[in-house]
Amino acid sequence: MKPGYAAVLMLMLACPAQSRAQDASCDADDRAAVTSLDALPAQVQDLLGRARPGIAGIADIGGKFNPSDVILDQTVPMRRLIGGVAGQRCIWLTVEYGGVGHYEKKLEYRLIVDKWVQTRGASPERAPAVWPVITR
């Protein structure tokens, strides 16, 4: 085997072990179901865009949101929290996105050095663009 191939193979084998070690720290967490945006830490709420007004914001579980691409009310968010699980160091959420391609996205947040960081999923800035509002 050529040395370059061996190095790539070693790197590929090492990466899954590191990710399993990171997941093990989350597995030790006491977990609870997320029943509201209010149950989330303030930093995670900020990352989700809770304080953002209108279509850029996020609705709580069961809250009013715009599931389609037709925006009749600019005060209604285009995203809604469906549910999730929260531990001391890890949070997993499912968020519903409205629009032409109505879909759900899994988001993951981890507490790293006393700061919540999004490690998987789309942030509001990377979410699909919202078309301009057309009024009649």
* Alpha carbon distance 104, 3 (integer Å): 43
- Same domain assignment for residues 115 and 88: yes
| CB-based contact 96:106 (threshold 8 Å) | no
| Same-domain status, 6 and 69 | no
Domain range for 42 is 31-126
**Residue 23: pLDDT band with limits 50, 70, 90:** low
Euclidean distance between CA atoms 10 and 112, whole angstroms: 27
Residue 79 scores a pLDDT above 70: yes
Q: Is the pTM of this model over 0.85?
A: no
pLDDT of residue 121: 82
Q: Are residues 46 and 79 in the same domain?
A: yes
What is the structure's pLDDT at 87? 93
Q: Please give the radius of gyration of the chain, using alpha carbons only, rounded to the nearest integer.
A: 19
Better pLDDT: 129 or 81: 81
The answer as to whether 42 is a domain residue is: yes
Q: Are 111 and 48 part of one and the same domain?
A: yes
89 and 54 together in one domain: yes
Residue 17 has pLDDT above 60, yes or no: no
Is residue 45 assigned to a domain? Answer: yes
Half-sphere exposure of 115 (CA within 13 A, CB side): 5
Quick one: 38 and 98 in the same domain?
Answer: yes
Q: How many domains does the chain have?
A: 2
Q: What is the pLDDT of residues 119-134, one digit of tens each?
A: 988 655 444 445 555 5
Is 70 within the bounds of a domain?
A: yes
Residue 134 lies in a domain: no
Tokens of 21: 């070690």
Q: What is the pLDDT of residues 63-77, one digit of tens each?
A: 999 888 888 889 999
> Does residue 132 sit within a domain?
no
